[in-house]
Structure 1
Amino acid sequence: MPAAFRRLWAASAVSSLGDGVYFAALPLLAATLTQNPVALGMVASAALLPWLFFGLLGGALVDRWDRRRTMWITDLLRAVLLAIPALAAVLHLLSIPLLVAVAFLLGTGQIFFDSAGSAYLPQLLGRDLELLQQANSRQMGARTVAADFAGPPAGSALFALTRSLPFGLDALSFLASSLLIRTLPAQPPVRRQPQGPSLWAEAKTGAAFLFKDKVLLGLALRPAIGNMAFAGMEAVLVLFAHHQLHLGNVGYGVLLTAQAVGGLLGAALAGRLGKLLGTGRALTTTALLEAAALIGLGLSAGPLPFIPAGLALALLGAAMAATMVLAPSVSQALIPGELAGRVGAARRLMALGAAPVGALLGGWLAQSAGLRAPFLVGALLLASTAVLSVTLASNKRIEAALAAAAGAAGE
């Protein structure tokens, strides 16, 4: 692993800590301004809306620009942006429209940063699958510890002291990330395809490449269907914990911690699982484990139902994290450098676009068929992704695609 990756990893860890602080403090801050559920929902969803509006266009722009420069400038701008609610809180100028605008602009920055980051990493590591798995595993572990464990309680504690502190800390985390990324080595310019007649035409080229490549399509459909199942589960999890598992707020927090612990373990073991089974078979295995975990969670009962529920969520977190290491690593190794931003943006758009559909489906199922229904239907969706792995992203298909990509890169 090159020394430059340590700086990239440190930048990811620092900004993830800030994200954890921000995501805990933002709903708390919004709730001090309004109790209107629609307004609170607008704040919560504003960061995802940019992906739906121009996620593909952002990926096309990233393919025109230098990836390292895009990342550090984006984080610098996000640091400045987060200083606005921190200052507004001090000056008592906060409002729901201001929070929606800030969240929307932060989400826009996320398009550019994520698309550039997913394209820069394979450049840095020479599209080596083993190194990519190690790198994604370490970044996933850092995000889990910082964003899931340390960030949320820190954000809540800082918010209790004063409303501006969490946002000031997140601004500093983006500033630190920007400075670290600025020190990364510049990569040689990738071979650029001739620019299309329009930015939209270039964006469609990336999406078309994704849909024509069966392995990449299988790897992209996996998180899309998975997010639909997970969002449906998460939409009713708090109600399920209260009414079916008879847990209070503290017990609900323990459940979420169990999922995060599983995620940390899954990220650490993903590379070994891939070596042992091959990436395709490993992804089939994690899909079946995710389905089994949701069934176990949905059927949790007995005198101490929180015990099987906690174990099921830990298993779910482990399988999810392993999947989120293995599938992107193969995709990064397969996607040509000149298309990395556009294809990566198309993959994320598919995954993020499925989440709100899943949340609506989960709420409808819970209302019409009971609180256990979203978990059982989600398990069926996850089981279907195992079929995707077998048919579109098997070991044989992945190995052939990697060999073809290596041959094309050597030409």
Structure 2
Amino acid sequence: MQCRLCGSDRMLSVLDLGATPPCEKILTPEELDLPECNYPLHLRLCEECLLLQIPALVTPEETFTEYAYYSSYADSWVEHARRFVDEATTTLGLGGDSLIVEVASNDGYLLQHAVKAGIPCLGIEPSVNVGDAARARGVPTVTAFLDEDTAHRIRREHGPADLVVANNVYAHVPDIIGFTAALRTLMDDDGWLSIEVHHALQLIGLGQFDTIYHEHFQYYTLFSAIAALATGGLTVVDAKLIDTHGGSIRIWARPAAAGRHPSPRIAEILAAEQQAGLHDIDGYLDFAPRAEGTRRAVLHYLLDCRSRGKTVVGYGAPGKGNTLLNYCGIRTDLLSYTVDRNPYKHGRFTPGMRIPILDPAQIDHDRPDVVLALPWNLEPELTEQLRHIKNWGGELVFPLPTLHAAAL
């Protein structure tokens, strides 16, 4: 394996999660007797540029042409997007003659707020099904994967963007250099780029191994993101730590020629990364033992529930949940089923472990002893949604960052 950013072949093994199916390839009942393709899930660190990455074994076309994830089913995420649009509108002075372009715009969770504010916008979304949901919300959406040709076509048809938004997509593209160039093409010469991506400071520091799955090709520190964006002539001018997805970073960048004095927050975040050892290989060496410890703790808990005759079900069927289920080997003897608010997933089965995915109403019907929350990063939201299970003595448990029960 060679680093996809700098080309080095000095790749350090950080965590080997074995081989698993793609996390979003949920199964229909008709597929249960068919074989599944499993791909190695092995996180490595480039010792030259310090970019964390996995081999690009599953193409974006295989994952995103039809996609099971709809952003709007997470209320807190929609609210996060609303606040972002409000803040960006005020800070950047966006209005009726501006243009916001969002890459990987999903079901219109963010751009719907631009539409309501009267700001011209365009979504670029490769998944046909979720793009249809965006258009149903009144969000103009192009069905396409972003590459340089697409970026040039969109710029010709719609003009340069004052703001390009790339939330949780910069990790999803194996061609970092080409994708970064395409982002720059979309932007006005005086434009802005906002990227949100899961921060390796939290991934490594809190042992969030379940965030590793095949559609996430790389995992960024601010240090490595600065290097990646520079390949497209983009300069990072500000950054902010945010709490989405278990700990992310929002990065603001501009064309190098636009010029702007960098925010002092950049130096502060870089210093925090360096203090955590992430600007050297030493900071990554404890990740595998921590992941192994979490696996043992989760399995011990579920086996203990089994021995005590407790019923355990899951809540959510996110990509991270499938990494947890497959890495830990959790099958239906330990987790009877899981539920999800997304009707697209109902009646289907999780990849690999083949756990049934049902409507959330099933929990109220069955009144299980334990609900294991797989999207643990939504703990405040899920705790509120599931607070009522205490009425029958139910317990809500989150597996990460450390196994713990919620205070209901």
TM-score range for the pair, normalised by the shorter chain length: under 0.3
> Which structure shows the higher strand fraction?
2
Determine which structure has the larger helix proportion and give its number: 1
- Calculate the TM-score normalised by the size of structure 1: 0.28
Taking CA–CA contacts closer than 8 Å with sequence separation of 6 or more, which of the two structures ends up with the larger relative contact order? 1
